[in-house]
Structure 1
Amino acid sequence: MTVLGPESRLCLGRGARLRHDTARDRWVVLAPERMFIPDPTALEVLRLIDGTRSVAQIAEELAARYAAPQAVIEADILPLLQELSDKGVVVPA
């Protein structure tokens, strides 16, 4: 298991894709033999995961977008990303 930190750069895991389900009008993460329905917060984070941004950079972008302290956002998204990493949905880039 990889422990994530502020400098971790992530991408979607092998076979995982973020897609919009037009039939149900919702976003889903499709992974081999699994499907996840991200909540609005997780969706905003997943949209920023591209393999080049670090967790700190993602938090900085969300802080600017929502006028919130970067440290608070980073503390909120790290457990989310760790859980997704543990499930193989996101992996180190």
Structure 2
Amino acid sequence: MSLAAQSVPRMPRGVRLHEDRVRGGWVLLAPERAIALDQIGHAILSRIDGTRDFGAITRDLAESFGAPIEDVARDSGEFIEALAERRILEVGP
């Protein structure tokens, strides 16, 4: 899978971001799974709302972190694709 700029990632029913106040930090909760997130993972997932396309998410991340958009697109695309392969995220046209 290769994400196009117009692809729209979304969290399926039952998947959500959760702040773990006990341990500090964020986790991605999915049925029978919990994935601890680093700052980058949280930054990417917090921008996924089911309406913004990958291009908009990438531009926002690049502007927020002052990083080259090509690097952000590659890295965030790989992250989103890995979660989609595990059926934790969905990616639509």
TM-score, normalized by length of structure 1? 0.89
1:35-71 residue CA offsets vs partner (Å, 9 max, x unmatched): 1111211110000000111111111001111112212
The CA deviation at 1:72 is 1.5
Report what 1:63 is aligned to: 62
Report what 2:82 is aligned to: 83
Detail structure 1 runs of 4+ shifted over 4 Å in the superposition.
none
Contact 2:9 2:50 (8 Å CA) reproduced = yes
Report what 1:18 is aligned to: 17
Task: Describe the shift of the 1:3–1:75 C-alpha distance in structure 2 as closer, same or farther (beyond 3 A).
Answer: closer
The CA deviation at 1:11 is 1.2
Unaligned runs of 5+ in 1: none
Q: CA RMSD in A?
A: 1.4
Residue pairs, 1:36-55, within 5 angstroms: 36-55=35-54
Count of aligned pairs: 92
* Distance in 2, Cα, partners of 1:92 & 1:29: 17
* Distance in 1, Cα, partners of 2:91 & 2:32: 21
Task: Calculate percent identity across the aligned residue pairs.
Answer: 32
Contact 2:2 2:77 (8 Å CA) reproduced = no
Contact 1:5 1:78 (8 Å CA) reproduced = no
The CA deviation at 1:14 is 2.1
TM-score, normalized by length of structure 2? 0.89
Contact 2:58 2:72 (8 Å CA) reproduced = yes
